[in-house]
Structure 1
Amino acid sequence: MRRQFLNHLDSPASQLRSKTSSNVQTGLDALATNLRAACMYWVAPEMAALAMSAGAQLAAARWATADRPSPCGLIWWADGIGNLDTDGVQIPVEGIVWGPHEGELMVWLLMSRSRLASEMQTRNGLSLVSDRMPPMIPICGETLPVTAEPVSLAALDQLPAPIVAALAASWLLMQQPALVERATERPPAAEARSSARAGLVDPAVTVTTLRRQYLPGQQDIDEGHDVAGRRYRHRWVVSGHWRDQPHGPERTLRRKTWIPAYVKGPDGAPLLSTERVNVWRR
């Protein structure tokens, strides 16, 4: 899909290039450059749901090279990662390409050709001429500032904050081996040779999934009392949340670490229930 996408980006006669305004061409050039060098990631549905949930709790994020799993990347979330609202029309977002551009981070939101065809058929009863469109459709491109300090997600202009937050959360979650499993899927030999002839980086895809079981670390397990010595008589559910985990020289640095929901309190104690209902929508 990446190689076919690049064929459309590299051809001046393609629908993607010939039907796009001149002020977008520079962004498409950057997209092609970053896509050519991108490491590729595929995110399983459970992991995509966690990225959306965890991202909703991020107020700010950093976009420096050190914060990314790779300098350039193409990430694809199974079942999508939300919608871009354009003049009241909800456009589904399934993937993102990122990479450097003029000292900042260029981010392009993508949807699949198959999803576009399905949406057109469902909404308008129209059929898409598939051979004229790339397998991935660029929806919106924007740059994010690369700074030493986190940038507020509320300050985003063109890009939808929940989707950008999910991207930042995905990067952070990928760095937690206790929570996430990463496996490498390699293409057939013929595809690998085609990618090499096209000058592309390794066409292997990193598959990111949630582990079947996650046991919180010792610091997350309550022994029935707190640091002040008070004993608890009930158990309760602690919602998933981010923690600034110390790391680095003398543990002076901080890294965002996701702590999944878990039950806190002494074994055998009654579990407190509440009247609150949480609604989880796509």
Structure 2
Amino acid sequence: MFTPIEFVRQRAAMIDQLGRADPTLIFHNTSFLSDVTGLDVDDLDSDGRWLCEEQRNALIAADMYLFTPELAECARQAMAQLGPGEHLDLDPLPPGAVFAFTEPVRHPGGTGGRLCSVMLPMTRLAFANKDNPEAPPLQTSLLSYTLRSDLLAHVRDRIAAGVEVDHNRKAEAALLERSTPWRLIGLEVAHHAKEFATWGMLLRCAVTFARSPGIAQTVRAPIPRGVARAAARAAAPVPDTGIRVVDLRSRPATVPREESEESGRTLQHRVIVRGHWRHQACGPNRSERRLVWIDQHLRGPERAPIQGTERVYFGRPPH
């Protein structure tokens, strides 16, 4: 579980390591640049340093958001149901933010076992197109990272299972030598916008849900009790973690009337109810009707599993 405090600490460690221009980190970055541009790794040392600097600058200025597993599951289901052209209704990736998931998410394309825990939208990076050198540069849209701790756990599981033991022991030793908490594993460019099975599209679904008032709620991550006590003893302001945790909205204390008047069947899961107009009873003895908009919302018991629906909507009230 990736906690808010770990997010703060690891972000600070990444900023420090990127600022030091660690040779191993630079080489790893140049490997990704080589894949994108088609150039030899040895010719990209200065570009690798530049990429480290760009990541560091972006992380320093970025607002931090942490998505819960339930919010990520909603985004995954929504992404799987997007039809042609529907991705145009999704909110764009906001600049100046870094997003993390409390539990790693698997690549939406289902290829391999790649897991991602941190995503950093980028708008300033541009590289030559290796497929067509005469074409305009490729604009980078997203950098994706996995946690070093998750990589170590994966490698150790493979060693315990007896899978390629020698290779995985070398991988374990290399991971133990590195101090960088995140490992860059993905670099998406703008032409991937035509593809649906990307981490960038999954993140856009999550961001759109985060901005849906009937579905999600964003709260400040609490600081550790020890820090709060120390601030109180020093009569100092309580510091802010700087992290906003995005979760599914809690079920209201009172059940809406339209839910309580069902046919006696108790839901064992939660479903997303599309935003819709309703003729709301009002007036003397509820004899009158008023047309009101019901925001998209979750229906079902608190913390129950989310059931796949025929369609997940990002709809907002029509104007």
TM-score by length of structure 1 reads 0.62
- Tell me the amino acid that sits aligned with residue 209 of structure 1: D
Tell me, yes or no, if structure 1 residue 219 matches structure 2 residue 276.
Answer: yes
- Aligned mates of 1:175, 1:12 — CA distance in 2: 37
Q: Which amino acid aligns with 1:55?
A: M
Is 1:9 the counterpart of 2:18 in the alignment? yes
Aligned pair 1:67/2:77, yes or no?
A: no
Q: Of residues 176, 190, 201 in structure 2, which corresponds to 1:130?
A: 176
Change (3 A) 1:11 1:53: same
- Structure 1 segment 43-82 matched on structure 2, within 5 A: 43-58=67-82, 59=84, 61=87, 67-68=92-93, 70-82=94-106
Q: How does 1:94-109 map to 2 (within 5 A)?
A: 94-102=117-125, 104=139, 106-109=141-144
Task: Determine which of 5, 20, 30 is the counterpart of 2:54.
Answer: 30
Which 5+ residue runs of structure 1 have no aligned equivalent? 155-160, 191-201, 224-236, 252-282
**Percent of matched pairs sharing the same residue:** 17
Counterparts of 1:76 and 1:63, CA distance in 2? 23
* 1:247-266 to 2 correspondences below 5 Å: 251=319
How much has 1:55 moved relative to structure 2? 1.6
Structure with a larger share of its residues in strand: 1
SS in 2 for 1:80: strand
Contact 1:63–1:144 under 8 Å retained in 2: no
Q: Quick check: 1:8–1:14 contact (8 Å CA) kept in 2? A: no
Distance 1:7 1:100 in 2: 22
Corresponding residue for residue 120 of structure 1: 155
Residue 19 of structure 1: how far off its partner (Å): 5.1
Q: Counterpart of 1:166?
A: 202
Assess if the C-alpha contact under 8 Å between 2:275 and 2:315 holds in 1. no
Deviation at 1:164, TM superposition (A): 2.3
Query: Does 1:176 find its partner at 2:212?
Result: yes
Q: How many residues align?
A: 211
Per the alignment, residue 6 of structure 2 pairs with none
- Give the number of the structure whose alpha-carbon radius of gyration is greater: 2
- Given the superposition, is the C-alpha separation of residues 28 and 79 from structure 1 closer, same or farther in structure 2, using an over 3 Å criterion? same
Match of 1:111 among 146, 150, 159: 146
- Name the SS for the 1:90 alignment partner: coil
- Residue 8 and residue 85 in structure 1: after superposition, are their counterparts in 2 closer, same or farther (change >3 A)? farther
Given candidates 136, 141, 149, the residue that maps to 2:187 is 141
Tell me how large the CA RMSD over aligned residues is.
Answer: 3.7
For 2:177 and 2:310, how far apart are their aligned partners in 1? 47
Q: Which amino acid aligns with 1:40?
A: M
TM-fit CA distance, 1:163: 2.4
Q: Post-superposition shift, 1:14?
A: 4.6
Is the 8 Å Cα contact of residues 142 and 200 (structure 2) preserved in structure 1? no
Query: Which sections of structure 2, spanning at least 5 residues, go unmatched?
Result: 1-9, 31-43, 127-138, 159-164, 229-239, 257-272, 281-307
* Change over 3 Å in CA distance of 1:105–1:17 after alignment to 2: closer
